[in-house]
Amino acid sequence: MRNITGAVMAVWIGVSASALAGDAAVSISAGWILAAPPTSHAVAGYMTIDNIGTGLAKVVGVTSPVFSRIAIHGSKQEDGMMRMRAVSELRIASGERLVLQPGGMHLMLVEPNAPLQLGDTVAVRVILDGAEPIDVLLIVRSNPW
Ligand SMILES: [Cu+2]
């Protein structure tokens, strides 16, 4: 039986995390993964990234022990079709907020080592250029916050 209370607590503890280094300060919140059928090769993940520092923040990668790899994708409407393309980094100017969300920028989390279930939390590490990495939890949900 699942420990619902424990899962919810973990979400709230993990829901916001930040890192400070030099003049880069980044806060990450509202991380989630869109639930997908258990056979899915990849799932999409989202989060809100705030640059609360004075310098440019750069996200250069995301890792997780739960997935074989994680890519950062942008989405673009082309010829009436939504296409995804990998981007090498996310740049967030001082004071700016970048929201990864359905139809826009997202994480592509490839090959989970076990099927994900609704309510699961997944630890990911957001790698920043020139600052400490940030560990956040993404909750598996069927819809946005
Ligand atoms: Cu994608």
State the distance from the centre of ligand 1 to the C-alpha of 41, rounded, in angstroms: 12
CA 106 to centroid of ligand 1, rounded, Å: 6
C-alpha 118 – ligand 1 centre gap (Å): 20
Secondary structure (H, E, C), 107-134: EEEEEECCCCCCCCEEEEEEEECCCCCE
Q: Which residue has the higher pLDDT, 3 or 25?
A: 25
Residue-wise pLDDT for 15-60, tens only, equals: 567 666 555 689 999 999 999 998 899 999 999 999 999 999 999 9
Please, what sign has the CA dihedral across residues 65, 71, 74, 79?
A: negative
CA distances for 44 relative to 53, 54, 89, 132, angstroms = 28, 30, 17, 24
Distance 34 CA to ligand 1 centre (A): 12
Q: Domains (ranges, CATH) in the chain?
A: 4-141 (2.60.40.1890)
For residue 6, give the H/E element and its range.
helix 4-14
Cβ atoms within 10 A of the Cβ of 133, count?
17
Please say if the pLDDT value at position 92 is more than 90. yes
Angle formed at CA 94 by CA 89 and CA 98, multiple of 5 degrees: 50
User: In the chain, where does DSSP find H-type helix?
Assistant: 4-14
For residue 12, the surrounding DSSP H or E stretch is helix 4-14
Its pTM stands at 0.83
Would you state the structure tokens that stand for residue 123, as one six-digit string?
């630890």
What is the CA(89)–ligand 1 centre distance, in A? Answer: 14
Centroid of ligand 1 to alpha carbon of 8 (angstroms) = 27
What tokens does 67 get? 């997935």
Dist. CA 101 → ligand 1 center (Å)? 11
**The pLDDT of residue 4 is above 90:** no
Distance from the Cα of residue 79 to its chain's centroid: 28
**Ligand 1 center–CA 117 separation, angstroms:** 20
Q: If you measure from the C-alpha of residue 78 to the centroid of ligand 1, how many angstroms do you get, rounded to a whole number?
A: 15
Look at residue 38 in the predicted model and tell me its pLDDT. Answer: 86
Rounded to whole angstroms, the Cα distance separating 41 from 46 reads 17
**Separation of CA 67 and ligand 1 centre (Å):** 14
